[in-house]
Amino acid sequence: MLKQIETRRSIRKYLNKKVEKEKLVQILESARLAPSGSNMQPWTFIIIESEDTKEQLSIADHHQKWMMTAPIFIVCVADIRDRIPMGTKVRLDENSSEPELKQIIRDTAIAMEHILLEAEHLGLATCWTAWFEQDAVRPILNIPDDKYVCGIITLGYGDESPKQRPRKTMEEIVRYEQW
């Protein structure tokens, strides 16, 4: 697995080549198997292949035109209803203070990373994007106000090979026993 972790890059240019259905299913299966707090599995994944919907999402995601080269977008949504009962009124956005929101974002982020690594393992490329406001993305996909869009992952066959970006050393990031 370390090989895929080392070679994975954020790709912003894709070949005009369709992603095989079986590969997409395998990628989604890797996300389904991700761990989550109390095994809540608060995630939902919306697969977008429509050019019109992809265009709307790329505009909502800070007008990132490069996204349109990807054949598939995976919109990753966290559901707070796994932690807050249905009768409780809640509207989630970037300023929400519910502690449960942090929990569902963490859990969904783990599943999203599984997607990135499984795609790399299968010879596909991805980029995790999140340069958007909830109110810009939710209406495009009819996502209710009590759900939180954690990110949009572009998926396809990469048409670029960026070099590895600088990484901090182990000495800079690891402490033993205390700070």
User: What are 135-145's pLDDT values in tens digits?
Assistant: 999 999 999 99
- Looking at the chain, the number of H-run helices and the number of E-run strands are 6, 4
Tell me which DSSP letter residue 24 carries. Answer: H
Residue 87 has pLDDT above 90, yes or no: no
Nearest CA-CA partner of 162 in 126, 115, 137: 126
Long-range contacts of 17-25 (CB under 8 A, 24+ apart): 17/71, 17/156, 17/157, 18/71, 19/71, 19/72, 19/124, 19/155, 19/156, 19/157, 23/122, 23/124, 24/72, 24/155
| CATH number for the segment(s) 2-173 | 3.40.109.10
Residue 86 has pLDDT above 90, yes or no: no
Query: Domain residue spans in the chain?
Result: 2-173
Return the pLDDT at 179. Answer: 95
Mean pLDDT across the stretch 64-84?
96
Distances (CA, A) of 16 to 12, 19, 24, 69, 72: 13, 10, 16, 7, 11
Angle (CA) 35 41 46, round 5°: 115
Locate tokens 């810009």: which residue?
Answer: 136
Closest CA to 101 of 142, 58, 149, 137: 149
Is the pLDDT reported for residue 23 higher than 90? yes
User: Could you read off the pLDDT of 110-166 as tens digits, one per residue?
Assistant: 999 999 999 999 999 999 999 999 999 999 999 999 999 999 999 999 999 999 999
- Please, what is the Cα angle at 136 between 14 and 43, to 5 degrees? 70
| Helices assigned H by DSSP within the chain | 2-7, 21-32, 51-60, 99-121, 134-141, 170-173
Tell me what pLDDT residue 9 has: 96
Q: Report pLDDT for 1.
A: 86
Mean pLDDT of the chain: 97
Question: Averaged over 20-33, what is the pLDDT?
Answer: 98
Percentage with pLDDT > 90 across the chain: 96
